[in-house]
Amino acid sequence: MKLLTHNLLSSHVRGVGPRGFPLRLQATEVRISPVEFNPDFVARMIPKVEWAALLEAADTLHLVEVPKGPIEGYEHDEKFLRQMHHVLLEVDVLEGTLQCPESGRLFPISRGIPNMLLSDEETET
Amino acid sequence: MLKKLKSAERLFLLIKKQFPLNVSSVSKGKIFNEMQRLVNDDPESWMSAISIWKNLLELDAKKDKLSQRDANPLKRKIEENDITNPKKLKTEQMQELQESRQCQLEKQMEEETVEQGDFLTNREKSQEAFQNDVVKAVDTPDQKDLTFRVSCRCSGAIAKTFTGQEVGRVIGIALMKQYGWKADLRNPNLEIFIHLNDIYSVVGIPVFRVPLASRAYIKTAGLRSTIAWAMASLAEIKAGAFVLDPMCGLGTILLEAAKEWPDVYYVGADVSDSQLLGACDNLKAAGLQDKIELLKVSVIELPLPSESVDTIISDIPFGKKFKLGKDIKNILQEMERVLHVGGTIVLLLSEDHHKHLQDCEQSGIPLNSKGSHTDEPGIEKCLNHGEKTDLSDTVSSSSEAISQGGLDKMPPFGSLVPMECYQVSLGRTDAFIYKYRKSHSLGLLQPGSSRPRAAAQQGRRLSWDPDRAPESQGNRLP
């Protein structure tokens, strides 16, 4: 699971609503692998990023050189884009958990795939 | 280049197409004669088809030797062995690219209309492509050493009297007599394909040994790859979009989409471990594991904020294997929730789902009860909406008849406005491709119905527009 994905996931446990984001990340196995750098793609992802959540996750994973937010003219700033590329796309959490901040419910991540299936009682009506 | 045709199942070199053989009151012997005439009557068409086929084979062999050259027999005049001229290659490649795009669009449209299998569409395409080609009559190639095999498919009235094998045998014998070829059922050089039915009699040569629909980059296919590609095309995938397949199975749709539109963020979800494992395998085999993310989630409970997805493409599972008893309504509701306003949904539905949706609709809002006319202003608005991209243009303008007729089969769903509906053949069964666009925001009707990521940031999320220049969203920091 890449951090770009983590940035989008929110908890859907019953009654949690907006407080179900962001999911707290815990990782026991992380893989960093090179991904082809596509500046155009990264630039398009920047507006979608929820920065607080990203910084929190990056911190948990002890990543360095993480930009604190979008900078002026980021679309043409290769250094910035490369750093974002690394954080969003090259860090893969293979094993770990995601925790709903409100309900405390834990969702496991296994083989890089988060399992967010809820039992019947937990789903919203 | 021909291999890049994405919505064609198979491609054939046409030798003959004519009216169906008359089976009604004629003796079997007479019909056999008719079939033999297919072979003997017109040696010229046979010769030219075979020489084109030979040239294709040679070009193919040469292509393998030259690294990185894209030999395209369609555009190139075959007698000019100009393969080594790089400048010419480039301009021709540009033309081909446009041409093949055109072909793709046309094929796709034809693919999506009700037809007797995919064979018909491909036959027409190859007919255009190859009959326009100038081919020098090949000076008596040595044909005596050609081995061949005849594959025959019969359906309709003729199938009641003959089996495919009988016909194959008759044609095979005729060919041996006429050209002196040898039959080889296991590994022939040349395969002759015959299709006889109530609409036409066609003879052709398959251009590739393996059908185009079988993709080199897909290890295990789920949905037929041609339909998957067609659905992805309809979905108007833009660069930088977030595309979701909430019931991805083995990931066929996402694979086809990611191959064609790479600058996009793809996510696939499924509830089944085995499917997800298969999808994972497929992604790795195709080298697309960095482009597509997988989640184990349920489509009726997506852990995504409202209005966070740009495009949804999905093959709704058919039939009795689909156990969970999920109502298609619930599925559509959740999809609608996570979709951006202006986003598109493209679904593949079985006839049952299609009927079910219609039933739900009829018992509810009487929007479609008068038929298509009441919907017309809505429809036109939608079609205009879709005309932004070239693809929609071609599709909507030339298949308006279909969409308008099909649209009254398509109930609107909440804020999802029906755009297009196509009936397609999956081989044994038929299915429907539905395309919806979300016309307005659901808003905060009930506490659970909309799930913004955080109250303060909701406004920003809703107004995000992929086409707007990023500069205008300068004040993003929390």
Contacts of A12 in chain B (CB under 8 A): 301-303, 451
Phi, psi of B285 (to 5 degrees): -60, -35
Separation CA B193–CA B187 (nearest Å): 15
Residue with tokens 């707290």: A24
Nearest to A4 among B265, B297, B451 (CB): B265
Q: Is A87 touching B (CB cutoff 8 A)? A: no
Please spell the DSSP secondary structure of B424-465, one letter per residue: EE-SSSEEEEEEEEE-S---SSSTTT---S-HHHHHHHHH--
Instruction: Please report the DSSP string for B158-227 in residue order.
Output: HHHH--HHHHHHHHHHHHHHHH--EE-SSS-SEEEEEEE-SS-EEEEEESSSS-TTS-TT-SS-SS-HHH
Task: Report the distance separating Cα A24 and Cα A21, nearest Å.
Answer: 8
Distance from chain centroid for Cα A7:
4
ipTM: 0.92
Compute the distance between CA of residue B164 and CA of residue A36 in angstroms, rounded to an integer: 51
Domain-wise residue ranges, chain B: 1-66+143-211, 225-361+411-438
Q: What is the mean pLDDT of residues B18-30?
A: 73
Closest CA to B281 of B273, B292, B289, B272: B289
CB B218, CB B258: distance < 8 Å? no
Q: Which of the four pLDDT bands, split at 50, 70 and 90, describes residue B111? A: very low
Sort strands B201-206 and B190-196 into parallel, antiparallel or unpaired: antiparallel
Residues of A in contact with B264 (CB under 8 A): 41
Alpha-carbon gap: B367 to the closest alpha carbon of chain A (Å): 27
Nearest residue on chain B to A123, judged by CA atoms?
B301
pLDDT at B100 over 60: no
Residue of B nearest to A32 (CA): B290
Q: Could you say which DSSP state residue B366 is in?
A: G
Residue whose C-alpha is closest to residue B317's, from B435, B431, B437, B438 = B431
Contact by Cβ (8 Å): B338, B306: yes
pLDDT of residue B144: 57
Top mean pLDDT of B158-172, B259-273, B430-444 is at B259-273
> Chain A contacts of B295, Cβ < 8 Å?
5, 9, 113-114, 116
CATH of domain B225-361+411-438: 3.40.50.150
User: How does pLDDT run across B157-208, given as a tens digit for each residue?
Assistant: 777 778 888 888 888 888 888 888 888 888 888 888 888 888 888 888 887 7
Q: Is the pTM of this model over 0.80?
A: no
Interface touch A70/B294, C-beta < 8 Å: no
Q: Which of A2, A35, A69 sits opposite B293 (nearest CB)?
A: A2
User: Which regions of chain A does DSSP assign to beta strands (E)?
Assistant: 24-32, 91-99, 106-110, 113-114
- CA A86 to chain CA centroid, Å, is 12
In the prediction, which pLDDT does B266 show?
95
Instruction: Evaluate if residue B57 carries a pLDDT over 70.
Output: yes
Binning pLDDT at 50, 70 and 90, where does residue B120 land?
very low
pLDDT confidence of residue B2 = 67
Tell me if chain B has a CB within 8 Å of the CB of A44: yes
Nearest to B103 by CA among B7, B240, B19, B188: B7
Closest C-alpha to B196, from B165, B231, B242: B165
Q: At what angle do helices B390-398 and B400-407 cross, to 10 degrees?
A: 70
Q: B1-66+143-211: what CATH class?
A: alpha beta
* DSSP 8-state assignment for residue B301: B
| Cα B253 off chain centre by | 11
* Average pLDDT along chain B: 68
**Is the CB of residue A30 less than 8 Å away from at least one CB of chain B?**
no
Instruction: Note whether A113 contacts B295, CB cutoff 8 Å.
Output: yes
8-state DSSP, A117? P
The answer to whether A117 contacts B298, with C-beta atoms less than 8 Å apart, is yes
Question: What's the whole-number mean pLDDT along residues B454-471?
Answer: 40
Q: Is the distance from CB of B236 to CB of B260 less than 8 angstroms?
A: no
Return the pLDDT at B313: 95
- Angle at alpha carbon of residue B240, lines to B234 and B244, rounded to 5°: 55
Q: Pick out chain A residues at pLDDT < 50.
A: 125
Query: Do residues B205 and B13 make contact, with C-beta atoms less than 8 angstroms apart?
Result: yes
pLDDT at residue A4, rounded to an integer: 92
Q: Assign B468 a pLDDT band (cuts: 50, 70, 90).
A: very low
Q: Which tokens hold the place of B252?
A: 């066929």
Q: Which residues pair with B303 in a beta bridge?
A: none
Are B312 and B247 contacting, i.e. CB atoms less than 8 angstroms apart?
Answer: no
Which of B83-87, B148-152, B176-180, B461-465 bottoms out in mean pLDDT, i.e. has the lowest?
B83-87
- Using a pLDDT cut of 90, give the percent of chain B over it: 14
pLDDT at B66: 59
Query: How far, in Å, are B107, B111, B125, B456 from residue B120 at the CA level?
Result: 11, 9, 9, 56
Pair of tokens at residue B16:
């003959």
User: What domains sit in chain A, N to C, each tagged with a CATH number?
Assistant: 3-117 (2.20.25.10)
- Note whether A59 contacts B: Cβ–Cβ < 8 A: no
Contact assignment for B301 to A50 by CB distance below 8 Å:
no
